[in-house]
Structure 1
Amino acid sequence: MNLKYISILFFMLVLLQVNGQSTNKEILFTVDDEAVTAAEFIRVYNKNLDLVQDPAQKDVDEYLKLFTNYKLKLKEARALGLDKKPSYLRELSNYKKQLASSYITDSQVTEALVEEAYNRVSYDVNATHILIKLPEEPTPDDTLVAYNDIVKIRERALKEGFETVRKEVHNGQTIYGEDLDWFSGFKMVYKFENAAYNTPVGEISEPFRTRFGYHIVYVKDKRKSRGERTVAHIMIFHKKEDTSGQESAERIQEIYKKLQQGETFETLAKQFSEDKSTAANGGRLEPISSGQVNSKVFEDTVFGLDEIGYFSEPIKTDYGWHIIKLLGKKPIASFNEMKPELEQRVKRDQRSKLIDEALYNKLKAKYKVTNEQPALTYFTGILNENYYRMSWELPVNFEGDKPLVRIGEKQLLFKDFGDFLVRNQRYNRTRESFKTIVEKGYNTFLNSQLVAYQEAHLEEEDVEFANIVSEYRDGLLLFDLMEETIWEAAKTDSLGVEDYYNAHKENYMAPEKVDAIVASSAKQKTMKKVSKLMAGGMSVENIKNLVNSNDNIDVIFTEEIMDAGHQALPENFQFKKGISKIYKHNDAFVVVDVKDIIPETQRTLEEAKGMVISDYQVYKEQKWVEALAAKYPVDVNQDVLQKVKTQLTK
C-alpha cells in the first residue's frame, strides 16, 4: 500500500465515525440536497479533537470546511461510479476478510494463550535435545519404530547422562543431537516450546512429537529475560567507493581513540556519526530487546555491556562500523504493555490451532450445528481407488440436492460437500481409509463454512466491525478518486507541471553551499594551533601528522561541500571565504576553512520535479474542490451551526 493510500486512510479514520445513531436530527448542511446532521458533525469533531495536530483545524469553521470538502469528494466519487469498479469491490472485500479475522476468534482461549506466552517470553531456557527424524508422511510402522527408539534413548540418557548419549547417537541424518543454547517463547515450534518450559531444570522431558519427528529435551538452565537495553551508537557507513573498507575502519578507530582519551560519547556522535537519524541526539537509539535486531554481533554487544555509561570497542556489521554505549537497562515490559503484540504473535503461531478449534465449537453452538453427520456414510460409499490417484469424480447418480447441514439461515447440500471432496483430492501416500478421508474432509469443510457464514453476517452482528468497514469503504473510495483525479493526472500533465514551475520558480532554489574543511577538537588550545596551521597553508594530512598520533587523536577533519544545515557546521555559520574564528559547537571546538562559496542557484524543472509535482497536486486539488462546490451546492444552516459552536465550546 503506497504512502498516499496510508495517509488518506488515516485521514478517513480520523475524520469519520459513521453508522452511529443520531440523537439530534437537525440538519447542519446539505450537499446537493443530501443532508448531514449536526449530531454526526459533533460526534466526528469530538472524536478527533485530540488527534488533530493543526490548531487551525480545531476551529469549528475550519473543521467544517474539511468536512464539507470530504463530503463533496465522496459525492463526486459515487457520481463517477467508482464504488462499482471491480478493483474497488475486490479491495474492499479483501479488507473485510482481513479485518474479520480479528473479530472471528475465541477471546477466552486467546487470552489464556497470551498469558502463557507472556510467562514464556519473560524467561529464557537453555536446553539441548535429541530428535529421531520422521519422513513428511510417515507410515504407522515408521511412527512406532521412531517412538520406541526415542524411549530407549531416553532410558539410556537417564542412566548414562544426556550429553554423553546425545553426542554418541547424533548422526546428522536420522538422529540429531543438538545444543540449542538460550531461547525464549516463540523461538521454537509450540510443542517443543511446551516441553522445554514444562520440564524442570536438570531433567529430561517425556518423548513428544512435532512435525519433524520424536524428541526428548534436557533443560540445562532457565533465567529471567534480559529485558530491554537503551544504547547510543556512533556509526560510520561502509562506502561504495571505499572498496577495501580501510577508510571507514580508520575513521572509527580515530573516534574510538578520542573516546579513550576522555572525550564525551554524545559530543563525538553529534560531530561524526553518519547515522543522521540519531547523530543530533547523541546517537541514542530506540530501546532494544532480544531478537529485535537483525545483527547478532550488534545485539550480543548491546547485551554484553553490563554497566551504564560503558562503551564497546568498534564492531563491524553488514551496514558499517559501530561503537555502542549503554545508557539504560529495563526489565521485560508489563503484561498490559506487551499484550497487543503478543495477541498478534499468538494468532500467527501454531497456538492459533487451539484458538481455531475453540472458535469452531463456539460457532457450532451459536448456529445450532451438531457434530453428528449420518450422511458421511453415503460419501464414504461413493469414494473409490481413483481418489488416491486424484482422478475421482462424483458418480452420475450422485444425490446432490439432498440437505447436508444447516448453518443459521444457510442450507448446505450434498453437492457442496461433494464438490469440496473433488477439489481437495491429493496424492495420499499412506492410503488413509475412505472413512478417515471423508471425516477429515467434512471437518475442514464444515469449519470453513462456519467461519464464512459468520464473516458474511458480521456487519449485522457487530456494530464496531460495521463502523470500521464503513470508514474503510469511504476511505478507499476517496483514495481511488484522488488517485484518478489529482495524483496521477498531475503526474502525467507535463505541460501543467511546467507552467506551474515557471510561475513559481522562486520556490525551487538550491541553497547556498560552501566547499570547506572543518576541524574539530575537544580542546580549544589545540584548535588555536590548527587554525594557525590552516592559515599558513599547511595541508590537512600534514596537520594531522603534527597534532595527532597513533595513540592520540586530538583533531578530526571533515572535508566536503556543505549547506548551512550540515552537522559539522556551527549554527548560524556565516559563509565567508578563509579561516573562520573558533566556534563552540556540539560540546567541542571547531574551525572552518572555507575554500569556496557556491551561490544559491535555480533548480531546473528536472531537479525540482518531485517538489513541483507535489505543489502542483495541491494547487490542482484546490481548484478541483472549488469546482465541486459549484457542481454540488453546499448549504449550511447558520442557525444550527451556531448551536453546534455553542455546544462544542462549553
Structure 2
Amino acid sequence: MNIKYSLVLFFASFLFQVNAQISKETVLFTVDGDSVTASEFIRVYNKNLDLVQDESQKDVDEYLKLFTNYKLKLKEARALMLDEKPSYIRELSNYKKQLASSYITDNKVTEELVEEAYNRVSYDVKATHILIKLPENASPSDTLVAYNDIMKLRDRALTEGFEKVRQEVHNGQTIYGEDLDWFSGFKMVYKFENAAYNTPVGEISKPFRTRFGYHIVNVQDKRKSRGERTVAHIMILTSKEDVNQEQAAERIQDIYKKLQQGETFETLAKQFSEDKSTASNGGRLTPISSGQLNSKIFEDTVFGLKEEGDISEPIKTDYGWHIIKLLNKKPIAAYEDMRPELEQMVKRDERSKLIDEALYTKLRAKYGVSEKQPALPYFIGLLNDDYYRLSWQLPVAFEANKPLVRIGTEQLLFKDFGNFLVKNQHYNRSADTFESIVNKAYSTFLNTNLVKYQEEHLEEEDEDFANIVAEYRDGLLLFDLMESTIWDAAKTDSLGVQNYFNEHKEKYMAPEKMDAIVASSAQQKTLKKVSKLMVQGMSVEDIKTLVNSNDKIDVIFTEEIMDANHQALPEHFEFKKGISKIYKHNDAFVLVEVKDILPQTQKTFEESKGLVLSDYQTYKEEQWVAELAAKYPVVVNQEVLKEVKSQLKTK
C-alpha cells in the first residue's frame, strides 16, 4: 500500500462498531443540522486512544474538538462536491481494486504454497548449472534443438563429471555454466528452485525449462538455513574518492586496539561510529539473514562469528571500515511467525500464477461458467494474416450482439471478445497458429472478466471488505480537501510564507556551536593527564604521542565544530571557553577544550523554508477551521456528552 493510502487510512480510522451502552441513534452533536452519534464518537475515541501521542488529546473535551473539526472538514468537502470529482471516483476505484486483491484469491492453494516456501527458506542449496539460452517465444524446431542439446550435455555430465563439462561448454553467450554457490527459497525463478530442491545431493536434474532456456542443475550440498544474526558494528566511513583513506584505516585500528585493551564495544560505538543511525544504540543493526546483504565480505564476517560476544577484526567494504560484534544467533523463525511475510512473497512471485489458476477455476464454478466455449471456431475463422501485421479488424458481417458467455448476472457478447482480439494483436507473433491465438486470448478474456465481476460485487458478498471500503471513502475525501485547500495552497502562496517567516523569525535560529576538541578515554586518570597537558598548551598530536602508543590507544580525540547534540558531548554540556572538567559519558570519560563559541545566528529564509512551510500550513489550517465552524454551526448535546464522559471513565 502506498504512502497516500496510508495517510488516508490514518484520516479515516473510524471503523464500524456499535457500543452497547449508548444507543446507536443517540446524537452527540450536529454539524449544520447533520447528526453525529455518541456511539460513533466513542468507538473513534477508543480506537485511537493508543495512537494519540499528545496526552491532552486523551481528554474527552479535547478529543471532541478534533472530532468536530474532522466532521467540519468532511462537510465542506461534500459541499464542494469533491466526492463527484472524476479523480476521486477513480482513486476510490483503484483502492477498491487494490484491496480486493487480498480478498480475491484461492486460500487453499495459497496455504500450500506458503508451507512449501517455508520448507524452502528453512534450507539452503549449493548448486551449479548449465543453461542453453532459448527465447520464450522460440519456434518448435528451435525448442527441439535446444532440448536435444541439453540432453546431450546431461549425458556427458553423467559420464565425464558435471564440473568438467560445465567449464568446457560455458561461452557466456549461448551456453552458461555457472557456480551458483548457496541459495535459498525465492532467490531463483520458481521452476529453477523446484528443480534444485527436488534433486538429491550429488545428482543431476533432468532438463527443465525456464523463461531463460533449458537447464540442468547439479546439486552439490544442502544445509539447514543459517537463520538470523543480530550484530552491532563500529563504522568509519570512506569512499573510493576519499583522500583520507589512510586516516580512516588508522582510526579503525585505534578503535580496535581499544577493544583489545578491554574497553566495551557499545561504548566505543557510541563515541566513534560514523553510522549515525546506529551509533547511539551501541552500533546495533537490524537482524540479518543469509543472502540479504549487498556486501559479501560483511555477510561472511557476520556468519563467520561463532559465539555471541565474538568481535571481528576490522574489515573493509565499499562503504568504509567496520568492526562487527555478534549479539545474537537465532534459528529460522517458526512457521506461524513467518507466515504473513511468506504469503506476501508468494503472491509477488511466479507462484502467484498457480494461485491465479486455482482462483479462475473456483470463480468459473461459483458463477456457473463452462470451460468449453463452442463459439471459438467462429472467431478462429475470422482471423487472417493481417493479425500478424497488427492491422486486423472485425469484418462488417461480424455477429456483434450474439451472446457469448454469462458471468453471474452479466451477459458478455461476441463484440466484447471481438474487441478484445482487436486490442490485443500486439501480444501475438507469427509463430502462433490462429487456433492458439484465439484459445489463449479467450482464456485471458474470460479470467479477466471473472475477476472483474467478483471485484464489482465484492461489497455485496463480503461484509468485512464493505466496511473497509466505507472507511476509506471519507479518508480519501478528507485527503483531497486538505491537499487542495491547505497543503498545495500554502506551497503556492510564496508571499504569505515569506511574510510568516518575517513575523516569526525568532522561531528559526541556528543553534549555538563551538569549535572544540573532545578527548575520550575509558580511564579518568588518563584524562587528568591530558587536561594538564592541554593547560600547558600542548598540541593534540603531541599529547597523542605521550598518552598513546602503537600497542595501546588510551585516548581518542575528536576535533570539529559541534552543537549541543553532538554525540561526543555529554548531555547539558555548558558552552564555555577553556578546558572543562571530566565528564562521565557513554560509559566512558570525556574532556572538552572549547576553543571558540559561535553564537546563535538567524537562519535565512532558504535555510528554514521546509519548517516555515510546515508552520504556515498549520497556521492556515487553524484559520480555515475557525471559518468552517462559523459557516457550519456545531451544536453539542451537553447531557449526552456527560453520559459519554461517564461511560469512558468506566473503561
Is TM > 0.5 for Structure 1 vs Structure 2?
yes
In the alignment, what sits opposite 1:573? 573
Once the 2 structures are TM-superposed, how far is the Cα of residue 69 of structure 1 from its aligned partner? 0.9
* Distance in 2 between residues matched to 1:418 and 1:286, nearest whole Å: 54
* Maintained 8 Å contact 2:375/2:404: yes
Once the 2 structures are TM-superposed, how far is the Cα of residue 18 of structure 1 from its aligned partner? 4.7
* Maintained 8 Å contact 1:242/1:248: no
* Distance in 2 between residues matched to 1:582 and 1:629, nearest whole Å: 58
Letter in 2 for 1:151: M
In the alignment, what sits opposite 1:17? 15
Q: Deviations over 1:472-518 (max 9, x none)?
A: 22222212211222223233334433443444443333322221111
Deviates more, 1:161-170 or 1:365-374: 161-170
In the alignment, what sits opposite 1:558? 558
Residue 368 of structure 2: SS of its match in structure 1? coil
* Distance in 1 between residues matched to 2:180 and 2:45, nearest whole Å: 55
In the alignment, what sits opposite 2:371? 371
Once the 2 structures are TM-superposed, how far is the Cα of residue 147 of structure 1 from its aligned partner? 2.4
* Distance in 2 between residues matched to 1:240 and 1:142, nearest whole Å: 47
* Maintained 8 Å contact 2:582/2:590: yes
In the alignment, what sits opposite 2:246? 246
* Distance in 2 between residues matched to 1:33 and 1:316, nearest whole Å: 69
In the alignment, what sits opposite 2:409? 409
Residue 542 of structure 1: SS of its match in structure 2? helix
Q: Deviations over 1:564-594 (max 9, x none)?
A: 2211112222221111122222222221111
Q: Residues 510, 618 of structure 1: CA spacing in aligned structure 2 closer, same or farther, 3 A cutoff?
A: same
Letter in 1 for 2:43: R
Letter in 2 for 1:351: R
In the alignment, what sits opposite 2:176? 176
In the alignment, what sits opposite 2:278? 278
Letter in 2 for 1:12: F
Superposition pairs of residues 238-317 of structure 1, within 5 angstroms: 238=238, 242-317=242-317
* Distance in 2 between residues matched to 1:86 and 1:115, nearest whole Å: 43
* Distance in 1 between residues matched to 2:218 and 2:555, nearest whole Å: 56
Q: TM-score, normalised by structure 2?
A: 0.94
1:603 aligns with 2:603: yes
Q: Residues 243, 459 of structure 1: CA spacing in aligned structure 2 closer, same or farther, 3 A cutoff?
A: farther
* Maintained 8 Å contact 1:190/1:351: yes
Letter in 2 for 1:390: L
Once the 2 structures are TM-superposed, how far is the Cα of residue 241 of structure 1 from its aligned partner? 8.5
Deviates more, 1:256-265 or 1:101-110: 256-265
* Maintained 8 Å contact 2:298/2:317: yes
Letter in 2 for 1:9: V
Once the 2 structures are TM-superposed, how far is the Cα of residue 419 of structure 1 from its aligned partner? 0.8
Letter in 1 for 2:544: K
* Maintained 8 Å contact 2:428/2:437: no
Superposition pairs of residues 471-486 of structure 1, within 5 angstroms: 471-486=471-486
Once the 2 structures are TM-superposed, how far is the Cα of residue 383 of structure 1 from its aligned partner? 1.0
Q: Residues 408, 340 of structure 1: CA spacing in aligned structure 2 closer, same or farther, 3 A cutoff?
A: same
1:73 aligns with 2:86: no
Q: Deviations over 1:597-633 (max 9, x none)?
A: 2223333444333323222222221221121111111
Once the 2 structures are TM-superposed, how far is the Cα of residue 429 of structure 1 from its aligned partner? 4.8
In the alignment, what sits opposite 1:62? 62
1:144 aligns with 2:168: no
Superposition pairs of residues 196-595 of structure 1, within 5 angstroms: 196-238=196-238, 242-426=242-426, 428-429=428-429, 431-595=431-595
Letter in 1 for 2:290: S
Residue 622 of structure 2: SS of its match in structure 1? helix
* Maintained 8 Å contact 2:388/2:430: no
Letter in 1 for 2:301: T
Letter in 2 for 1:305: L
Q: Residues 244, 163 of structure 1: CA spacing in aligned structure 2 closer, same or farther, 3 A cutoff?
A: same
* Distance in 1 between residues matched to 2:461 and 2:528, nearest whole Å: 77
Once the 2 structures are TM-superposed, how far is the Cα of residue 257 of structure 1 from its aligned partner? 2.3
* Maintained 8 Å contact 2:9/2:471: no
Deviates more, 1:345-354 or 1:163-172: 163-172
* Maintained 8 Å contact 2:564/2:572: yes
* Distance in 2 between residues matched to 1:161 and 1:502, nearest whole Å: 80
Structure 2, gaps ≥5 residues long: none
Once the 2 structures are TM-superposed, how far is the Cα of residue 20 of structure 1 from its aligned partner? 7.4
Residue 520 of structure 2: SS of its match in structure 1? strand
* Distance in 2 between residues matched to 1:489 and 1:126, nearest whole Å: 58
Letter in 1 for 2:308: I
Q: Deviations over 1:106-134 (max 9, x none)?
A: 11111111111011011101112222322
* Distance in 2 between residues matched to 1:404 and 1:92, nearest whole Å: 31
Q: Residues 428, 475 of structure 1: CA spacing in aligned structure 2 closer, same or farther, 3 A cutoff?
A: closer
Q: Deviations over 1:499-557 (max 9, x none)?
A: 43444443333322221111112222322222122111111122223322333322211
* Distance in 2 between residues matched to 1:113 and 1:85, nearest whole Å: 42
Q: Residues 21, 81 of structure 1: CA spacing in aligned structure 2 closer, same or farther, 3 A cutoff?
A: farther
* Maintained 8 Å contact 2:166/2:177: yes
In the alignment, what sits opposite 1:619? 619
Deviates more, 1:30-39 or 1:411-420: 30-39
Deviates more, 1:430-439 or 1:98-107: 430-439
* Distance in 2 between residues matched to 1:290 and 1:515, nearest whole Å: 44
Residue 418 of structure 2: SS of its match in structure 1? helix
* Distance in 2 between residues matched to 1:231 and 1:609, nearest whole Å: 39
Residue 608 of structure 1: SS of its match in structure 2? helix
Residue 150 of structure 1: SS of its match in structure 2? helix
* Maintained 8 Å contact 1:388/1:427: no
* Distance in 2 between residues matched to 1:2 and 1:341, nearest whole Å: 17
In the alignment, what sits opposite 1:636? 636
* Distance in 1 between residues matched to 2:219 and 2:559, nearest whole Å: 57
Letter in 2 for 1:338: M
Residue 28 of structure 1: SS of its match in structure 2? strand
Letter in 2 for 1:482: M
* Maintained 8 Å contact 1:19/1:467: no
Deviates more, 1:505-514 or 1:426-435: 426-435
Q: Residues 283, 43 of structure 1: CA spacing in aligned structure 2 closer, same or farther, 3 A cutoff?
A: same
* Distance in 1 between residues matched to 2:140 and 2:500, nearest whole Å: 76
In the alignment, what sits opposite 1:106? 106
Letter in 2 for 1:395: P
* Maintained 8 Å contact 1:518/1:557: yes
Computed over aligned residues only, the root mean square deviation of the Cα atoms, in angstroms, reads 2.3
* Distance in 1 between residues matched to 2:185 and 2:170, nearest whole Å: 26
Residue 141 of structure 1: SS of its match in structure 2? helix
* Distance in 1 between residues matched to 2:173 and 2:509, nearest whole Å: 67
User: How many residue pairs end up in the alignment?
Assistant: 648
In the TM superposition, structure 1's runs of 4+ consecutive aligned residues that sit over 6 Å from their partners are 19-23
Residue 582 of structure 1: SS of its match in structure 2? strand
* Distance in 1 between residues matched to 2:404 and 2:498, nearest whole Å: 67
* Distance in 1 between residues matched to 2:495 and 2:648, nearest whole Å: 46
Residue 537 of structure 2: SS of its match in structure 1? coil
